[in-house]
Amino acid sequence: MSSNQYQNLKYVTGFLSAVCLAFGTIGLFWTITDDCSDIQANYNLIARNIGIVALLYFTMNLLTNSDEKIEKLSLISWITSRYYMIYLLVPTAVNKIMNLHYNYSYIQANERIMDLDPKSLVWTVYSSSDTYEMLIGIGQIIIILMLTFRRTTPIAVLLLFPILINNLAIAGIFDSCYKLSYARSVFLTFGILLYLVPELLDWVRSINYKKLLWFEKGRLLHARNVINMLKIILIVGLMIQQFWKLDRSRNYYRMSKDHPIVGIWSVESVNASTEDFPNFNRLIFEKSIVGNVEVKDSLSQFYYIVDTTYNQLEFYNFQDFRSLDLKGRYQMIDSTTVKYVGRNNRDSLQFIMKKQKVMNPELEK
């Protein structure tokens, strides 16, 4: 490859890498409407960002030493793409290691497969094993660390790109409303890979392994080692910040996950002094702070808090029954029967519920 051909290729790949970054950064400005990111306003952001990049590169061509300036601009875009991708990966990686990303749902687990929507089906599969979720998180951490360094970035991208393509394909096949969210990660990773194409081709032609790994001997080697240490410190700091952010919810999640109230309960009898108290058919307590109540074949969500030390149980923030605010204590009559005695606001309340078996008992463990 001649020198002119190499420079032209670097110009094209650098520009396309910057375009991919423009696509990826729409997540910094977009809006979520009705729990959906695939709206026209967000697609307009793509056109706006790409237009800005095109105008910037066109302006650079009019300046003196334009080739040198454009090369630096492409390098800045590539570095920004790498660290923005790290920023997107760290929160989900930490959540998966702590088993907080894929929350198991009793409602979904007890539905027939044909009745589940595609997203719920995939979510149920991933949430079936805490170990599997943790392994996914560890894999993401390894990719994050490799993205941090120039030498290992090509390996990280080659590992990450097929996974993101698979996620985007699943979102497309299942008609997810978050295809744009998956697409931005694909474009960011593709942009990182595009920028490396000239070096990869040059390496293939020359079979020069050192150049692929960006290895250079000289006076800057010590400075690079210092920069690499700073990268590790920044990544570890970001992860520690994420751990602190989730610490309280993690502790409560673990307590909630193990308490005896978790599961599906049929309400045998209700004795309430509140007028028009809803006739609960079933109460479903998820492995978190969320529950669902079934009344006349209709499900309504609520939140609950369990204190296993004093056998206290509170229900609040009912989705369809705003007047309900239950506080009281539960008594385990036997392993499958619970008696609840408490109050709804100021009115007395008492009910008995029986635990139902789930379709797959192994998932309850």
Q: Which domain holds residue 229?
A: 3-250
Distance (Å, whole) CA 228 – CA 226: 5
Opening angle at CA 66, ends 64 and 68, nearest 5 = 115
| Residue 282's CATH number | 2.40.128.270
* Token code pair at residue 233: 């410190």
- pLDDT value at 152 more than 80: yes
Residue 103, pLDDT score: 75
Both 234 and 275 in one domain: the answer is no
Both 235 and 134 in one domain: the answer is yes
Give the mean pLDDT of 39-61. 91
Both 269 and 228 in one domain: the answer is no
Both 38 and 113 in one domain: the answer is yes
- pLDDT value at 360 more than 50: yes
Residue 361, pLDDT score: 47
Out of 84-88, 295-299, 318-322, give the one with best mean pLDDT: 84-88
Domain count, the chain: 2
- pLDDT value at 142 more than 80: yes
Both 276 and 175 in one domain: the answer is no
| Residue that finishes a domain, picked among 201, 219, 250 | 250
Distance (Å, whole) CA 49 – CA 208: 37
pLDDT in tens, 87-118: 999 999 998 888 878 777 777 777 666 677 66
Distance (Å, whole) CA 96 – CA 134: 5
Give the mean pLDDT of 146-168. 91
Both 150 and 200 in one domain: the answer is yes
| Residue that finishes a domain, picked among 228, 250, 272 | 250
Distance (Å, whole) CA 339 – CA 357: 18
Give the CA distances from residue 255 to residues 79, 102, 244, 306, in Å, rounded to whole numbers and listed in that order.
42, 17, 18, 9
Tokens 């409602």, located at residue: 107
Both 194 and 101 in one domain: the answer is yes
* Token code pair at residue 353: 């519920």
Which amino acid, residue 98? M
Distance (Å, whole) CA 191 – CA 202: 18
The answer for residues whose C-beta is within 8 angstroms of residue 12's C-beta and 6 or more apart is none
Both 149 and 192 in one domain: the answer is yes
Both 292 and 348 in one domain: the answer is yes
Q: Which helix (H) or strand (E) holds 302?
A: strand 298-307
Q: How many CB atoms lie within 10 A of CB 260?
A: 14
Both 14 and 127 in one domain: the answer is yes
Both 114 and 17 in one domain: the answer is yes
Both 327 and 204 in one domain: the answer is no
Distance (Å, whole) CA 234 – CA 221: 20
| Residue that finishes a domain, picked among 189, 220, 250 | 250
